[in-house]
Amino acid sequence: AIRISQSPSSLSASTGDRVTITCRASQAVASYLAWYQQKPGEAPKLLIYSTSTLQSGVPSRFSGSGSGTDFALTITYLQSEDFATYYCHQYYDYPLTFGQGTKVEI
Amino acid sequence: EVQLVESGGDLVQPGGSLRLSCAASGFSFSTHSMNWVRQAPGKGLEWVAYITSTSSTTYYADSVRGRFTVSRDNAKNLLYLQMDSLRAEDTAVYYCAREGMADEVMDVWGQGTTVTVSS
């Protein structure tokens, strides 16, 4: 199985900050890397897929980058509604796997 | 509106069985592969099972293989997860998720249904 190491596990930030979350896969996943946002009591919401493609309706302050085994999610100008937990996810091969999550706190 | 609604979650004793359902609406269910993903209390996301649009292929996580069975009824727009020999570690919120057509990512998720395995 492809293991994903996500960091940091949590971070404290303020509105207006720029935040970067990284993921490293145990083997190359081509561009099959996605990012999800999850708020307490809610289902995960797709933000970015294919490494850097923004899902419809997602604000442009979210961006994704990377290739091979190393990927990043960047949130520029953090907004109050962005405080949540973020997961990276590889869908290159089964079993599908997720990073451990990053909780973005105020 | 594209929507997935899970149901069937309950409190069940260890060793027991449960069948979860996921009702799809607002899109052509029969053309999409589907997944089940779970989340234990306070933990991260864990993929559970996958089924193609025609049910020709299924995949399972090692943790559930041989105990869980994913199936679907395209005529009724329903996805199922039959869960047998349940263990305490199966306690989680179970989500169904649609695989997108343009990209194979899970793009639409239901709100989840809670399964608790406890005596």
pLDDT by residue (tens digit) across A23-60? 999 999 999 999 999 999 999 999 999 999 999 999 99
pLDDT band at B102 (very low <50, low <70, confident <90, very high): confident
Which of B105, B111, B113, B114 to mutate: most A Cβ within 10 Å?
B105
Torsion of CA B60, B65, B68, B74, to 10 degrees: 30
Across the range B106-116, mean pLDDT stands at 98
Contact criterion met (CB below 8 Å) for A33 and A71? yes
pLDDT score of A92: 96
Q: What is the mean pLDDT of residues A68-94?
A: 97
Q: What are B3-19's pLDDT values in tens digits?
A: 999 999 999 999 999 99
**CA angle, corner A52, sides to A51 and A57, nearest 5?**
120
Is A91 within 8 Å of B44 when comparing Cβ atoms?
no
DSSP B79-119: EEEEE-S--GGG-EEEEEEEEPSSSSSEEEE---EEEEE--
**Quick one: pLDDT at residue B103?**
84
Q: According to the model, what pLDDT value does residue A44 have?
A: 98
B22-47 pLDDT, tens digit per residue, is 999 999 999 999 999 999 999 999 99
> CB of A43 within 8 Å of any CB in chain B?
yes
pLDDT for the residue numbered B75? 98
Handedness of CA A96, B51, B67, B114 (dihedral sign): positive
Task: Say yes or no for a CB contact (<8 Å) between A100 and B112.
Answer: no
The mean pLDDT value for B73-91 works out to: 98
Q: What integer pLDDT is reported at residue B114 of this predicted model?
A: 98
Chain B interface test: which of A96, A98, A102 (most B C-beta within 10 Å) = A96
The rounded mean pLDDT for chain A is: 97
Mean pLDDT of B60-78: 98
Q: How many CA atoms lie within 13 A of A36 on its CB side?
A: 25
Q: Does residue A106 register a pLDDT over 90?
A: no
